[in-house]
Structure 1
């Protein structure tokens, strides 16, 4: 890993926070009970809060990429996967306009943060204005964190990688529903896709050097 790979100039760098939403993180959220044991095991919420607060204090651009669906989100998908039908559409997870699709209060966007439009599947770029907003600000180095490591975080970062962005993973500010999927992301996908794969402490230390 070179110094260039872990340098984050403020004019071209951003922290991309994926899906810090009530359905995942708040008590009573539709998916909270299922993911809570893993959130606690990896110390996800304290790590993510420390990461976002530290990055914002260091002057790094924060970008939010939320999930959100409604009754028409999959109208143009002729072969909707059963996972999405059962676990997203039918159960109305992250349903637009509801409390579950809103930001978890401690991680609510602040003035100056970028909030892109809601993604319907796992890739935060596809069908959203994320890339438009990144290009408008000249952002080229993206550090990814949030939920979930093996699905939306990996899918979004893979898209960024293929589009030529510099990709960093903050691995201890990600989590999954089960240990196996999380381990697969951290062991195989993050090192393959990421130009850098850092802990929260390592990333904040890199920001302090700037």
Structure 2
């Protein structure tokens, strides 16, 4: 995988543990088939960030009623994640703690209508490390929104996943080109 995006990965920087947060996007039962292959690097990334005292925030995508479907209702009308269903719950394999924040969302962005930006600013966060699923939808949208809102973005290449390798590669290339520093669980272990 690395060779396909290396030409776009021309910027290098390490996250600052004092001003970073780890975002774990939508690792829910609904996406378990996609998420299971990245559980090891994702778990490693979570543990690495915790050891470096980097807060971990999880997001959970769910819909409470047709009023909050928006365009997703048109696009994914047969595949919406309904609140209160087992599919809407975070995967039990995640190393979550009782006091971990879970941001509830109903669109691709972790920022849209969630209070995430205000929470991060109140915490003194300047940088976000993005992990989770799906790379080309919720992870990418959240990363791009973080960038345009003034946060430095680090995007994981091995703790993100989607349904198709071409989509994974396209997102990583786009983000490396214009929005995010690329990281993986090994590089984070070495620099944090």
For residue 175 of structure 1, what is the aligned residue in structure 2? 161
- How far the C-alpha of 1:188 sits from its partner, in A, is 2.3
Query: Residues 107 and 182 from structure 1, CA distance in 2 versus in 1: closer, same or farther, beyond 3 angstroms?
Result: same
Give the TM-score, by structure 2 length.
Answer: 0.85
For residue 16 of structure 2, what is the aligned residue in structure 1? 8
For residue 29 of structure 1, what is the aligned residue in structure 2? none
RMSD of aligned Cα (Å) = 2.0
- How far the C-alpha of 1:185 sits from its partner, in A, is 0.7
- How far the C-alpha of 1:104 sits from its partner, in A, is 0.8
For residue 182 of structure 2, what is the aligned residue in structure 1? 197
Rounded to whole Å, the distance in 2 between the matches of 1:47 and 1:9 is 19
Secondary structure at 2:79 match in 1 = helix
Rounded to whole Å, the distance in 1 between the matches of 2:111 and 2:40 is 27
For residue 97 of structure 1, what is the aligned residue in structure 2? 84
- How far the C-alpha of 1:136 sits from its partner, in A, is 1.8
Query: Residues 97 and 108 from structure 1, CA distance in 2 versus in 1: closer, same or farther, beyond 3 angstroms?
Result: farther
Aligned length: 182
Unaligned 5+ segments in structure 2 are: 1-10
For residue 19 of structure 1, what is the aligned residue in structure 2? 26
For residue 146 of structure 1, what is the aligned residue in structure 2? 132
For residue 55 of structure 1, what is the aligned residue in structure 2? 49
- How far the C-alpha of 1:135 sits from its partner, in A, is 1.6
Query: Residues 47 and 73 from structure 1, CA distance in 2 versus in 1: closer, same or farther, beyond 3 angstroms?
Result: farther
Rounded to whole Å, the distance in 2 between the matches of 1:177 and 1:189 is 18
- How far the C-alpha of 1:152 sits from its partner, in A, is 0.3
Query: Residues 108 and 98 from structure 1, CA distance in 2 versus in 1: closer, same or farther, beyond 3 angstroms?
Result: farther
Give the TM-score, by structure 1 length.
Answer: 0.79
Give the conservation status (yes or no) of the 8 Å contact 2:17–2:52. Answer: no
Secondary structure at 2:188 match in 1 = helix
- How far the C-alpha of 1:9 sits from its partner, in A, is 3.1
